Amino acid sequence: MFSVLSFSLRLPQFSLFSVKAALLLLSILTTVFNLHTVTCYFFKVCSWQDADRLFGG
């Protein structure tokens, strides 16, 4: 993970790559944290009421 960050910092011309890498890493971490909520957010399968039910009980 840190090697990717240092690689991106040393080669700023690949800013698009660094953005994609950051988004990929963020999406992976978020998916591991809460797969169902991520699926609902990106694909709009769930309504906001469903999300409230998940978090609020």
**Residue ranges per domain, the chain?**
2-56
Residue identified by tokens 């040393």 is 10
Is the overall model pTM greater than 0.85, yes or no?
no
Spatial distance between the Cα atoms of 25 and 55, rounded to a whole number of angstroms: 24
Torsion angle of the four alpha carbons 42, 48, 49, 55, in this order, in degrees rounded to the nearest 10: 70
Spatial distance between the Cα atoms of 28 and 9, rounded to a whole number of angstroms: 21
Q: Tell me: pLDDT of 11 over 80.
A: no
Sequence length of the chain is: 57
Using an 8 Å Cβ cutoff, are 14 and 4 in contact? Answer: no
pLDDT digits (tens, 9 = 90+) for 23-45: 999 888 877 777 767 666 666 65
